[in-house]
Structure 1
Amino acid sequence: MNILIITQYFYPENFKSNDLAFELKNRGHQVTVLTGLPNYPEGKIFEGYGFFKNREQTINGVKVIRSLLLPRGKGGGLRLFANYYSFAFFASVKAFFLGLNNRFDAIIVHEPSPITQYYPALLMNKLWKIPVYFWVMDLWPESLSIAGGVKNKFVLSYYTKVIKGFYKNSEKILITSKGFRGAINEKGDFNNKIVYFPNWAEDAISEGSKDFPIPPMPEGFKVMFAGNIGEAQDLDNIMRAALQLKEKKNIKFILVGDGRKMPFVKEFVEQNDLHDTVNIMGRFPVEAMSSFFDKADVMLVTLKDDPIFNLTVPAKLQAYMSASKPVIAMLNGEGADNILDAGCGFTVDAGDYSALAETIVKASELSSEELQKLGSNSRKYYAENFKMSACISNLENIISKKA
């Protein structure tokens, strides 16, 4: 098939769109990616890219076309608005000419946020009737309200109407969490369009080498959090748990990643003198994750206590499971259910930092054999439910109308 993937985020940015494009190409499909100039998460255009640099590339056999956009900067509301809509506008212009010169069988919109990434696909669907498969990884306008802090009723009502139109226009709506089904159906009768299409772990994690050079790890029971350090991940309560465990010098929190909450984390560590127990590693490429995970005793996954996050399964959970690691979770909903079903760790209610601290102490007292058993359960559940090869095979069936 001749497949177009539309996404604001693509290599060298680290998103699932990379795996999707390269794996479809490896399976013999012709794949084109319409994306923007890479600038996530730092907020500035990556070195080597620009108005006249690498606007068109071929990466691993995938044709990559980059539209202009205003970089996200430090992520303030107006700057993000400009970032989202500048991509939507310039990518729509690119999409028009792509549609004139190509015969695409399907368009996949990869949407971890914002929904404005859908506009170029909408244009191509209206002009050339190309079916659009909407891969929903973030619910709007709920995410805009909760994670983005937008409370204006007019704005939320506007985006509710917009997303209804996108759902109506889609051939299929691919959801990463089963909990999304109800929230989407509240906006219309879309049940027959909805298909469960979960996240997976990158091969660099699930099958990766453990020899990537990383900083030395502290001695002790290592509780590792890896990924985006953002608002949704409830770093406030992770830090409160760390403060509660301040005198437990054997327990070490390891933070791998970066994001909008990192300044808060650094300030909290400084103000509360947590340097002995909280270790900030910084951001590393996905290829390093296997080496980091190998050094951890347990992995930590958290989300804030909010209805939208209770419907969400964090993508890092699949990564943790693929690496055969025990998991401690401070979240509600489907993510917690996955951990309990797998028998691979411990869950506490979202926001309950005292219970998190107690659970970490409990886990630190387990034998290596007990921890290894939990890790084996993680890997088994991942292989049965979240393996990339099975997910992409399912997607091929969906877009070829066989499922």
Structure 2
Amino acid sequence: MRTRTRTRTHTRTRPPRSRLRPMDLLRLGMIGPRTRKLRTALSALGISLGIAAVVAVTGISNSNQQHLLARLDQLGSNLITVAPGKGPDQQPVPLPLTAEKMLSAIAPVQLTTATGATGAQVYRNDLVPAQQTGSLTVLAARLNLLEVLRAELHSGQWLDAASENLPVTVLGGQAAQRLAVTGPGERVWLGGQWYQVLGILAPNELAPELGTAALVGWPQAVAHLGADGSAATVYLRSYSERVPQVQAVAAASANPGSPTMVAVSRPSDLLLARTETENSLTALVLVLAGVALLVGGVGIANTVVVGVRERRGEIGLRRALGARGGQISAQFLLEAVLMGFIGGAGGPLLGSLTVYGYALVQGWPAVIPLYTLVAGPTVSVVVAALAGLYPALRAARASPTDALRSA
């Protein structure tokens, strides 16, 4: 008779894993920033300055571009300048006497005006030595010069049919400053005689050469100041869609015999080229802003590493009570992310205030790209997470016994 022996198998039951609710994890993550406020603030400041630099640079650059485009729309980008070119000896070759008339005959050209060179110099009074010219020029001017250039007067009035035959002059803004002329009615010593100041020009981006000139009427310049009647610079206004065609034939029209000795330019192209140069400088500043972000990330990493070392006892105690390594790493990673978020929230605000302040001083429209405001906090959180990843993993690998022994 067989006896059955029953073997009783004992199954080992594992203790249930401890789990942290999101709110509990958030409270644990706030322990470091809350107890080490100064260290957290300094670490977040590095991130904040980097984000602020990115927002400020892009905002100021966009504000400048909007201002420039507005000015181009106001002044018009259909202005073409025709001036003497250089000959084989690298000396300027004057335009023919017929250049202005020939250029005005081009079909798409709407308006034509010109300035002419003179042999005169202008001084504040007759006691100033002749060699102290102040780098100023005296130019003959057509009556429609302001209309074609869309220039404005700072004060006074422009030449008219009556005053162009009289000893009166209109000064450019820089010329008035160098001659210490404050307004109309004063006199300057021009071409060996006194000329009354009729007005002062406001700055004009498309014709900056007028800023250092004293402008007189064309008949007066020919009769008394040595002008030969030829144009030194001719300004054309054409239909906007026909500007390239006018540029292509302007040199041959101005000087049919030697078109290669005529300089044809479009001032608005120079302004756009200046903008491109500023954009390259903007790229350089953005690189520096990236370095600031990197420095901020290193600061956060250093703060978290020091926090891990200082709180080894806390880490060991939590591990001994059942906390898993993932929970420990999540705590310290969350601390780093919180510091990055604080810096990312303050960076766009600081950068926006900088853009609005600078634009207000310059008189520009303040333009801040939306993507920088959105990307700023996102980038700061990513940088902080990457910076805190290694310290968080290091805290997770800490042995409970070693951590408690060093506490």
TM (norm. structure 2) is 0.22
Structure number, greater radius of gyration: 2
Higher relative contact order (CA 8 A, sep 6+): 2
Q: Which has the higher helix share?
A: 2
